[in-house]
Amino acid sequence: MSNLNYFLIRRVHSLSGLVPLGLFLFAHLTTNSMAAFGQEAFAHKVELIHSLGPLLPFVEAAMIFVPLAIHIVLGIFIALTARSNTTDLGYTRNWAYTLQRWTGWAALAFIVYHTMELRFLDEANTGALRGMMLNGRELTAGDIFFIHMAEEFQSVIYMALYVVGGIAVIYHFANGLCTFCMTWGITVGPRSQQIMAWIAFGAGLALFGMLMTSIAGFHFRHDPAVYQQMQDLLNNAPH
């Protein structure tokens, strides 16, 4: 591999973490936070995304799945070259480095689970229910997701999984933001790097807030009756 190609590949990994994946993370958690305002608010927000219509799969592929796949494959190669040594050298940034790799693995597992569960497994369900009427509301994808997730988030284990998985993703992004600025030569000295660390910490905190808002939203806005009704609808739906 030529030096230039190697460099470009590494830079693609670095960049993809920020744009589009980082941006997607913000958008995704913003949407999910709407859960705190209830099914309708959430569904409305989701509908905005779905208004892309037939373009949606392409946008998703370009903005999420392809960059994510690239980021993951390259990330695995990078993580495999590390030999962490925090036992002897417990400096903050050394921990940050090690955690970046650990959270990378954790995030990978979480994202695989999360995507499998919601993006594909429920695809059929949402397709089947879409357009049906429930409590005087025409069900949209957002409604179906909300009802489904609210039910899931009654489980403590499920909530814990999302808290841990979410934190891993958020940490990976926030620390990645710092190292991105170092790697690209945007923050050169220790001072600028420290400032960037605070900014990233702020961003991480905001994302964490959104994560907790989302989980809490789904958890507390749960209505078992609605879920049961949706199940009934699903069972009675023509196959």
Residue of the chain from 89, 121, 160, 237 that contacts another protein (CB under 8 A): 89
Residue of the chain from 193, 206, 208, 229 that contacts another protein (CB under 8 A): 193
CA distance 164 to 62: 27
Are 130 and 206 in contact, with CB atoms under 8 Å apart?
A: no
CA distance 104 to 21: 13
Structure tokens at 196: 């960037």
Q: Can residue 136 be called a binding residue for another protein (CB under 8 A)?
A: no
Q: How far is the CB of 67 from another protein (least distance, A)?
A: 18
Q: How far is the CB of 42 from another protein (least distance, A)?
A: 37
Residues of span 209-228 touching another protein by CB under 8 A: none
CA distance 71 to 75: 6
Question: What residues are paired with 134 via a beta bridge?
Answer: 137
Are 26 and 207 in contact, with CB atoms under 8 Å apart?
A: yes
Residue of the chain from 30, 98, 126, 229 that contacts another protein (CB under 8 A): 98
Residues of span 13-42 touching another protein by CB under 8 A: 14
- Label residues 214-236 b or e (16+ Cβ within 10 Å = b): bbebbbebbeeebbeebeebeee
Residue of the chain from 26, 37, 97, 102 that contacts another protein (CB under 8 A): 97
Q: Can residue 194 be called a binding residue for another protein (CB under 8 A)?
A: no
Q: Can residue 102 be called a binding residue for another protein (CB under 8 A)?
A: no
- Count residues contacting another protein (CB under 8 A)? 39
Q: Can residue 96 be called a binding residue for another protein (CB under 8 A)?
A: yes
- Label residues 57-91 b or e (16+ Cβ within 10 Å = b): eeeeeebbeebbebbbebbeeeeeeeeeeeeeeee
Residues that bind another protein (CB under 8 A): 1-4, 6-8, 10-11, 14, 78, 80-85, 87-89, 91, 93-94, 96-98, 100, 178-179, 182-190, 193
